[in-house]
Amino acid sequence: MCGLGGFINKDGKKVDGTAITTMGGMMEARYDERGGGFAAYGIYPNHSDQYALHLLFDDERAREATEEYLKDRVNIVKDECIPTASVKEIAPVHVPWRYFIDVPEDFEAVEADFLVDTVMKINGSIPGAFVISSGKNMGVFKATGLPRNVAALFKISDYKAYAWSVHGRFPTNTQGWWGGAHPFNILDWSVVHNGEISSYGTNKRYLEMHGYECKLRTDTEVVAYLFDLLVRKHGLSAEVACSIMSPPFWKNIDRSDKREYYEALRMTYAPAMLNGPFAIIVNNKDSMIAFNDRIKLRPLIAAELGETTFVASEEAAIREIEPELDRVWAPRAGSPVIARLNNAGGK
């Protein structure tokens, strides 16, 4: 069991981290103190053209090794310790750091692949260093602790974003550690997840064949990589990606007038299907996508107010920040909620 929530303002209007912290706080019955985190979009307007790498270091040596590695590969425009407050509930076992980087011109054509490769290399081969996010003008903040304490630790209320997500974790498959908290991220994809990916082994090996390395010791990671593969690399829409990961049943496909279309999707992308109980919120710079497993074994509620779309494990979490809503609904299994910026590409 976990608690998750998120919202996006389709006009790109930004709010600070107070509301999302409140949203997460309403669902404390759903998680414990073994992992909390936030994703925020639009928080680095002064560095919006650079990739923001958020890292967790175990020690100074890990930081030096990472810096050596990055210097050889990319142009570091700026780097700094991510500001934190002292929170008594969370021991500072990692040093959070951020780099704003430019990819060298030689690699511009394959910029995103180059960056994925860079992240994979750091996570796979530099001991004590973990990249927790790597998108532009966005960032992930996470640690072992309740979401409200993680919010305090990272001073979440100081950031302003047009899209936010929150996650409180009740880990049951892998042990709690900072890197294992949600959101999981690659480039500007970030994922929060309630449930278990029972098809993990199949998904992981499919992703490995496409050059992704699943090193973070938890199942949710595969969702971020699948979105990156399907949407960014294969050029599929978010709708198609969702119907690959949570496809209609054959009995429905067989009597659908789009039989050939869905059959091709399921045949081609069978190893990308996510199986097991889940509710997932996926963000990228342009959109927020929320969807369930095929038989809806985890709760997910959606709501709209004006140009803002909300999703959460519990309606109470949404009502707590916006008591009056235009519309509230429980998305059906296999029917994703997709909210896009009206001016996609906006900051």
**Where along the sequence are the contacts to other proteins (CB under 8 A)?**
172-173, 195-196, 198-202, 204-206, 208-210, 233-237, 239-240, 249-251, 260-261, 264-271, 273, 275-277, 294-295, 297
| CA 136/CA 157 separation, integer angstroms | 20
Collect all residues with Cβ–Cβ distance below 8 Å to 71 and sequence separation of at least 6. none
Three-state DSSP class for residue 221: helix
Q: Which one, 234 or 347, has the nearer CB to other proteins?
A: 234
Active-site hit among 2, 81, 214, 242: 2
How near is the Cβ of 253 to other proteins at its closest, in Å?
10
Alpha-carbon span 134 to 18, nearest angstrom = 23
Where helices occur in the chain by DSSP H, the ranges are 18-25, 60-73, 111-125, 147-153, 200-209, 221-227, 238-245, 250-254, 259-268, 315-321
Minimum CB–partner distance for residue 34 and other proteins (Å)? 14
Report how far residue 22's alpha carbon sits from residue 68's, in angstroms, rounded to the nearest whole number.
40
Least spacing, CB of residue 261 vs other proteins, in Å: 6
Question: Which of residues 180 and 195 has its CB atom nearest to other proteins in the complex?
Answer: 195
DSSP state of 136: B
Residues 6+ apart with CB under 8 A from 182: 2, 4, 35, 37, 142, 167, 169, 191, 192, 193, 220
Pick 129 or 229: Cβ nearer other proteins: 229
Least distance from C-beta 232 to other proteins, angstroms?
12
Tell me if residue 2 is catalytic. yes
**CB closer to other proteins out of 261 and 329:** 261
Tokens of 212: 């992704």
Using alpha carbons only, what angle is made at residue 278 by residues 295 and 246, rounded to the nearest 5 degrees?
60
The Cβ-side half-sphere exposure at 297, using a 13 Å CA radius, reads 14
What is the smallest separation between the CB atom of 226 and other proteins, expressed in angstroms? 13
User: Which residue number, 83 or 201, has a Cβ lying nearer to other proteins?
Assistant: 201
Catalytic residues, by residue number, are: 2
